[in-house]
Amino acid sequence: MILFEEVVKRYPGEYVALAGVSFEIRHGEFVVLSGHSGAGKSTLLKMIPVIERPSSGTVRINGQDVSRLRAAAIPYLRRNLGLVLQESRLLFDRSVFDNVMLPLVITGHPPRDAARRVAAALERVGLKGRDREMPAGLSGGEQQRVAIARAIVNKPSILIADEPTAHLDRAYAREIAALFKSFNEAGVTVLVSTHDSELFAHHAPRRLVLGKGILIGDSE
């Protein structure tokens, strides 16, 4: 489903973020990507929705080489991925409903069906009935839940999260980790990066460890 083959990412100044990383994630897996800050976790995750392209090597999603994808085709790839970034990246001048609705607006969903999906996604993340609230009035954990609802509203087959619990206290972080587990149990392939691998230890059976751009561990 997700295949990295000898992926190298070199930034200007010859800084090497990834130095020949190879692994495969199969359909329905829950994988945690761990490592210290600067290990290359974010860079690796950015390769999947083509926010970054590899300097060399290949990234394949469902057999398709996305590292050489035309710019015009990238949006259509991203619509099939659920993305949760380190910061919630919500639109603070829009309501919770409008934020979660955005991916459906982008894909041109009929409004009535879209509203049903938004309600279902919010219920899934425990924010039922909070759709008219503004993000600024929510706690950090709730904002991250809104971001997760936005990521799953399009029913993606792959969910990618970059440090989704980075700014949350322990209780909120556990709730978020359990939420990802529930998506995985529903059949979604989940790849989560974290510097706190213990948090996901009993949710994710597989753990990839990055160190200075090199894959130094794979629990498989």
Partner 1 sequence: MTGWLYLHLRAMAQAIRRLATHPLGTLLSAMVVGIALSLPAAGYLLLDNVASLARGVSGTPEISLFLATEAGAAEVKAIEERLGSEAQVASYRFVSREEALRQLEQSGLGDVLGGLGSNPLPDAFVVSARGDDPGVFERLQARFREWEQVEHVQLDSAWVERLHALLGLGRSAVLLLAALLGFALVIVTFNTIRLHILTQRHEIDVSRLLGATDPFIRRPFYWFGGLQGLLGGLVALATVWLTVKALAAPVESLAVSYGAVFSLSGPDLRQGASLLAFASFLGWLGAAISVRRHLAERLR
What is the C-alpha separation between 140 and 167, in angstroms, rounded?
A: 7
Q: Give yes or no for residue 108 binding partner 1 (CB under 8 A).
A: yes
Q: Give yes or no for residue 75 binding partner 1 (CB under 8 A).
A: yes
Q: Give yes or no for residue 79 binding partner 1 (CB under 8 A).
A: yes
Q: Give yes or no for residue 16 binding partner 1 (CB under 8 A).
A: no
In the chain, what is the greatest distance between 2 CA atoms, to the nearest angstrom?
A: 51
- The span of 61-69, 106-114, 118-126, 188-196 binding partner 1 (CB under 8 A) equals 106-114
Question: Cβ(43)–Cβ(18) under 8 Å?
Answer: yes
Question: Cβ(64)–Cβ(70) under 8 Å?
Answer: no
Q: Give yes or no for residue 27 binding partner 1 (CB under 8 A).
A: no
Burial zone of 54 (CB within 10 Å; 0-12 exposed, 13-18 middle, 19+ buried) = buried
- The span of 4-12, 83-91, 127-135, 181-189 binding partner 1 (CB under 8 A) equals 83-91
Of the candidates 2, 21, 66, 83, which one interacts with partner 1 according to CB under 8 A? 83
Of the candidates 14, 72, 187, 198, which one interacts with partner 1 according to CB under 8 A? 72
Q: Give yes or no for residue 78 binding partner 1 (CB under 8 A).
A: yes
Q: Which is nearer to partner 1, 53 or 212 (CB)?
A: 53
Q: Nearest to residue 147, comparing CAs of 122, 178, 169?
A: 122
What is the C-alpha separation between 63 and 40, in angstroms, rounded?
A: 23
What is the C-alpha separation between 20 and 12, in angstroms, rounded?
A: 17
The set of residues, in sequence order, having a beta carbon less than 8 Å from that of 132 and lying 6+ positions away, is 95, 96, 97
The set of residues, in sequence order, having a beta carbon less than 8 Å from that of 81 and lying 6+ positions away, is 48, 49, 61, 156, 158, 159, 160
- The span of 1-9, 27-35, 81-89, 192-200 binding partner 1 (CB under 8 A) equals 81-89
- The span of 10-18, 69-77, 164-172, 190-198 binding partner 1 (CB under 8 A) equals 69-77
- The span of 78-86, 136-144, 175-183, 208-216 binding partner 1 (CB under 8 A) equals 78-86
Q: Which is nearer to partner 1, 22 or 107 (CB)?
A: 107
Of the candidates 13, 63, 110, 187, which one interacts with partner 1 according to CB under 8 A? 110
What is the C-alpha separation between 72 and 152, in angstroms, rounded?
A: 23
Q: Site residues (CB under 8 A) for partner 1?
A: 49, 51, 71-72, 75-79, 83, 85, 89-91, 102-103, 105-108, 110, 150, 154
